Amino acid sequence: MRVGVLALQGDWAAHGAALARIGAAWTPVRTAAELDAVEALVLPGGESTTMLHLLEREGWLGRLKERLLGGMPTLATCAGVILLAEEVEPAQESLAVLRARVIRNAYGRQVASAVVPVRLANGLAGPSTLEGVFIRAPKITAVGKDVEVLGWRDEDPVLLRQGKILAATFHPEVTGDDRIQRFFLSIAEAGGEA
């Protein structure tokens, strides 16, 4: 399976390195044609408004939404979660495919970045916590009925699954713990788009 990493802005190269570490074939995605050539996608952290602007400018925001609604397996981290959320505060455009409400930069500015234990739901292999790197992270304030919470920072949900979408408000790509990437690949390999 070929995994694409949205490479318009943000920490896409770190995601590629994390995927390569676990033996996954990956490629940067910068065009609609490159999007159509992959079977799964990673939406990295970075600046969500900049990514939206670039997707609109290049004319393939609609195609990305089609692929997501079609069931393309997707891992979104930090700003990627903002791109997917149905509701974003302060209000901004999004792809609105993840039934969740998020508040941008809710844990503070860059200087408030932190490494915090993330408590995991049963079913994810390994220890019951992992290291969560939060950098200007969004906060999830509500989720839809069909959205499963898989991880928490204190009582806040920070890792969600909705069908073939896995959404983490932290940066699993910058730690040595590859459980999130492995779990994402297991979701992707279990079935492609509907």
Residue 18 belongs to a domain: yes
**Which has the minimum average pLDDT: 25-34, 119-128, 137-146, 155-164?**
119-128
Kindly indicate the confidence band of residue 194, based on its pLDDT and cuts at 50, 70 and 90: very low
User: Residue 175 belongs to a domain with what CATH number?
Assistant: 3.40.50.880
Residue 87 has pLDDT above 60, yes or no: yes
Instruction: Point out the residues that are catalytic.
Output: 78, 171, 173
Residue 194 belongs to a domain: no
pTM of the model: 0.93
Residue 102 belongs to a domain: yes
Average pLDDT over residues 111-120: 84
H or E segment and range at residue 84: helix 79-84
Range of the domain at 40: 2-189
The 3-state secondary structure of 11-70 reads: CHHHHHHHHHHCCCEEEEECCHHHHHCCCEEEECCCCHHHHHHHHHHHCCHHHHHHHHHC
Pair of tokens at residue 162: 């909705």
- What is the total count of domains within the chain? 1
Indicate the average pLDDT of the chain: 92
Residue 53 belongs to a domain: yes
Residue 118 belongs to a domain: yes
What is the model's pLDDT at position 2? 93
Residue 62 has pLDDT above 90, yes or no: yes
Closest C-alpha to 102, from 137, 130, 140:
140
